[in-house]
Amino acid sequence: METATAYPKARSICAQKDVRQLERDLETLKALALEKGAASAFVVNAKDMPWLENASARSGEEDYSSAHWPLKYPKDSIRDAAAAFEKAIFFVVDTPPRAIDPGQGPIDDKTVRAACKTIYEIAAAVEAAAFYMGHHLTLGFAHANCRAVFCPQEKRCWGEIKGRVCLHPYKARPSMAACGMDSKALAAACGIEDKASANWAAGIVFVD
């Protein structure tokens, strides 16, 4: 098995999917997620993804919208895109005990924000690794509102303002919840118990 960071060269794109190579890559990516700070990581089937209804409903009273929550893809379907994948790396990061899931809203607790940022970093690292392995359509999703994680001091999300661009392109991304993915149900399917005292947050990278 390749070590988690042994991918110095980009792999050329294959005309047909190599199932055995994909299996090896998934193990490498799982190890990478753990190396980057995930408490646990799993290889899951993309078609087993449980979906929530009304995912983009706001959790707080404050208007805290961002470029990635609620989702603004009038011409595309995230569910169709997710359904086109076969495998994904699902990972969880521990958050401080009794931390409340911020949902779409701001994150006041710095330790919770740091944990959420770790998820974004793991998603970015695993997605980049998968991309250079030749899985060029890989997509990663994180946790909480990217605005709360990357731009807590900004009065508005720059990516939402006409004529301006996101302050953190290539880092900010939608969360699983914003897309309607039920991370709790998926975690339960992976054997993670949702105890009140055991707090965690999750991310996922669809590989191929």
Alpha helices in the chain, H assignment, sequence order: 19-35, 78-83, 110-132, 146-150, 176-179, 183-189
Q: How far is the CB of 101 from another protein (least distance, A)?
A: 21
Taking the alpha carbons of 72, 114, 165, 90 in that order, is the dihedral positive or negative? negative
- Beta carbons within 10 angstroms of residue 198's beta carbon: 11
8 Å CB contact between 85 and 71: no
Closer residue to another protein, CB minimum distance, 32 or 192 = 32
Query: By rule CB under 8 A, what string of x and - marks binding of each residue 138-167 to another protein?
Result: -xxx----------------xx---xxxx-
Segment 15 to 34, residues that bind another protein, using CB under 8 A? 15
Q: How far is the CB of 60 from another protein (least distance, A)?
A: 23
| 99 contributes a contact to another protein by CB under 8 A | no
Closer residue to another protein, CB minimum distance, 141 or 199 = 141
Near another protein by CB under 8 A: residue from 67, 151, 176, 186 = 67
| 75 contributes a contact to another protein by CB under 8 A | yes
- Which is nearest to 206 in space by CA: 122, 141, 145, 129? 141
73: Cα separation from own chain's centroid: 17
Beta bridge partners of 206: 88, 139
Q: Which residues bind another protein (CB under 8 A)?
A: 8-15, 67-68, 72-78, 80-81, 83-85, 124, 128, 131-132, 134, 136-137, 139-141, 158-159, 163-166, 169-174
